[in-house]
Structure formats: C-alpha cells, structure tokens
C-alpha cells in the first residue's frame, strides 16, 4: 500500500466534493470548493494507492491560519490520515511563517475534538448556533494551536 500527501489541482475538486458529501450531512458544494480553490486557499490531499481518500483545506493570512475543512472518506477512516493531513498542513504553514492555527468543530463531533486535542489544539471559545442540524443549529468549539516551537 502506498500513501502520499500532495497539493490538489482543480481536476481533484470533484473527488474532494464527493468525499465531503459522503463524510458530512451538511457538506460543502462543489461550487464552494471551486470558489475556495480560486480564492487561493491551499488543499492538501491524502492518497491511498493513487485514490484520493481525504483532504484538508486551509488558508493563511500573515501569522494566522485557519483549517476551513477536513474530511476522510468514511471507508478509509481510522488509519491516521486526518493526523497526517494536519501534520502536513502545520509543516506547510510553519514554513510560510504562520504562528497560530485555528479551526471550528461541532460540539457533537467528539472523535474530531479528541484528535485535535491530541495534536495540541486547545478550545478557546464557542460560537453559538454556528452549524446547521436537522433540528436547528448546534454550537461550534473554536480551537487554536500554536505553531511556534
């Protein structure tokens, strides 16, 4: 089995949108990924045997960066791919001079919260009603990781 991390190209966006829709009930649209790509946001992909199985989308403004979206195809979860994506993204950001990395996560997404905490993220605030649900909205936890050693 070969695993590789690569930067996305525009031709990868259909697969990225497919993974997102398989991973989340309230996924980004293909057009939202296209807009993000055209805005210059960075996309890092994880491939297993040449198949894109996950992605992370992030942006950097001066010393601050934000993880905008991350997803692993449900069939390929629990293999450490999200951790690999976050490590690669963090390394890219540190090379680019970023000092802090922020993200939002649903309060109900305990697996993601646990992963982020293991990777050095700390909860710093809450955004009330940030995410849509079938029944209304749920809060987001805002997390931050210092990238400086």
Catalytic residues, by residue number, are 104, 116
Helix residue ranges, H only, the chain: 13-23, 30-38, 81-95, 110-118
Element spanning 72, H or E: strand 64-72
CA distances from 25 to 51, 145, 146 (A): 23, 27, 30
Q: Which of 95, 78, 1 lies closest to 44, judged by CA?
A: 95
Q: Which of 39, 79, 82 lies closest to 61, judged by CA?
A: 39
Calpha distance 91→86 (Å, rounded):
9
């Amino acid at each position: 089995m070969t695993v590789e991390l690569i930067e996305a190209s525009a031709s990868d966006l259909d697969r990225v949108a497919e993974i997102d829709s398989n991973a989340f009930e309230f996924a980004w649209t293909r057009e939202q990924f296209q807009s993000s790509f055209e805005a210059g946001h960075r996309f890092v992909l994880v491939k297993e045997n040449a198949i894109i199985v996950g992605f992370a989308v992030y942006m950097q403004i001066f010393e601050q960066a934000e993880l905008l979206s991350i997803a692993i195809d449900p069939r390929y979860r629990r293999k450490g791919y999200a951790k690999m994506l976050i490590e690669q993204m963090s390394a890219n950001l540190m090379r680019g001079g970023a000092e802090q990395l922020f993200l939002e996560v649903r309060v109900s997404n305990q697996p993601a919260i646990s992963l982020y905490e293991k990777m050095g993220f700390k909860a710093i605030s809450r955004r009330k009603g940030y995410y849509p649900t079938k029944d209304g909205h749920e809060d987001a936890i805002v997390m931050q990781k210092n990238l400086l050693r």
